[in-house]
Structure 1
Amino acid sequence: MTAPVRVLLAEDEPLIRAGVRAVLAADPGIEIVAEAADGAEAVELARRHRPDVAVLDIRMPRLDGLAATAEIRRLLPEVAVVILTTFGEDAYISRAVDGGATGFLLKSGDPRELVAGIRAAAEGAAYLSPRVAKRVLDAMGRTVRASKAADRVAVLTARERDVLTLVGEGMSNADIANRLGLVEGTVKTHVSAILTRLGVRNRVQAAILAYEAGMVG
């Protein structure tokens, strides 16, 4: 039996935190190991419990979710971070990506997206909620327009383009391997090469570039 995904939930609004907790508790494949009401507490609990995924609100007291993301990723690079956002927080997205966040989910989104996003993050995939993907592109795409993105992607081999497309769709290395008939180690090598050739730092930035280049609908 597969072990459940261990989740740290950080949200300062008790009502929202209770709602997210209820959604996650209903899934037997997810276990909430700790809850925090501010960013500093989230960092401390992440160090103590070492969850698979930390789900962080952006606006929190003492230490906001962006600073907490960067600190958790610095201290515990194996912990994936998913950001809970709203349509009014587009300006924070680039900072979240720079800090190492691997997923973006809307607080007002479908509960199934929350579960899917957490599972994807736990598997090492970059997850952009369908409704927030365009907002991410609008926020990040100010310096990377579609034509430039297409030029950058053109340096990739055909196989690397296939892999990048699936990264853009939020697939993990294991999922990509199954889809393309490759071994997972080969996919990992392709992903590393893609990040290097495109000059991006992580899978989220690669996924954004795939969207900008029109490789993902």
Structure 2
Amino acid sequence: MTDPGGWAAVDGAGMLRDVRILIVDDCTVFREYLAAVLAAHGAPPPVAAWDLASLVAAFEAKLPRIMLLNNATRDSAMLLRQAMKLNPNVRVVVLGLSEDDEPGIIQYAEAGVAGYHTRGETLEDLLVLIHKVAAGGSLFSPRISAILLHRLSTLASQRRPAAKGLVLTAREIQILRMLEMGLTNRDIAEQLRIAVHTVKNHVHSLLTKLGVRTRAQAAARARAVLLVVDPDRD
């Protein structure tokens, strides 16, 4: 990871001052070590989680600004989704990915993570990354940046012709916008005042029309699709 002036521009002993951090990892030793390192660099005592129950408790006890998610943690993808529901504004950094794990990099990017700390990067790199992400920025290695740019290019080339011939009903457009917002079937049903099974039918129809298999993939395509089928969207 390159960061011209990044580390030198901050005080190493206080670079994380006032940054509320949540560590999500099911390895106790790693959690405790990382918490000690972060506290030594000025962060308030980090909170920790290792499963869904502890994640919910951590968000209730202390609204974190940054979440550090170890990719090797059991059910890490599910925990990320739940964290985003608990606080859509939390900034997530994924730890432990390999730069060769293209599917993982893309999956996390589509979920909205703000940064990656890969296996080949140092502790100093991680501290700089947390500092940058807490300030509202992002910091990717050249390899990860290349993967994400290639993915965007591929999606753009696939979506444009498909979206032009796509026909969605008014209700499907409503639901697609809600999927883009990350709402559950129950949330959608409550907002539209329809049955949950009706929402499920609409979602299934949307997945079929969009040529995707999951809600996350539909949400990732929503922005490009809605610009074509719903040009008057807000």
Report the TM-score, using the length of structure 2 for normalisation. 0.52
Q: Could you tell me how far 1:48 is from its partner in structure 2? A: 2.9
Q: Which whole-Å CA distance do the structure 1 matches of 2:53 and 2:115 have between them?
A: 20
Greater radius of gyration (CA): 2
The one-letter code matched in structure 1 to 2:139 is: Y
Shift of residue 17, structure 1, vs aligned partner: 2.4
Determine the structure 1 residue equivalent to 2:20.
Answer: 6
Within 2, Cα distance between the matches of 1:100 and 1:59? 18
d(CA) in 1 for partners of 2:31, 2:97: 15
For these two proteins, the number of residue pairs brought into alignment is 143
Q: RMSD between aligned alpha carbons?
A: 3.0
- Mark the runs of 5 or more structure 2 residues left unpaired by the alignment: 1-13, 158-222, 225-234
After TM superposition, give the deviation of residue 16 of structure 1 in Å. 2.7
Task: Supply the distance in 1 between the matched residues of 2:126 and 2:147 (Cα, whole angstroms).
Answer: 22
The runs of at least 4 aligned residues of structure 1 exceeding 6 Å deviation read none
Q: What is aligned with 1:36? A: 49
Amino acid at match of 2:95: L
Q: Which amino acid aligns with 1:16?
A: F
Contact 2:129 2:139 in 1 (8 A): yes
**Residue deviations 1:81-110 (CA, integer Å, cap 9, x gap):** 111123164421212112121111124521
Q: Are residues 1:52 and 2:65 paired?
A: yes
Q: How does 1:141-156 map to 2 (within 5 A)?
A: 141-142=150-151, 144=153
Aligned-partner Cα distance in 2 for 1:71–1:4 = 24
Q: Structure 1: where are the runs of 5+ without partners?
A: 149-198, 201-217
SS, match of residue 46 in structure 2: strand
Deviation at 1:115, TM superposition (A): 1.1
Paired residue secondary structure (1:141):
helix
What residue identity is the alignment partner of 2:150? G
**1:41/1:111 Cα in 2 relative to 1: closer, same or farther (>3 Å)?**
same
Identity, % of aligned positions: 22
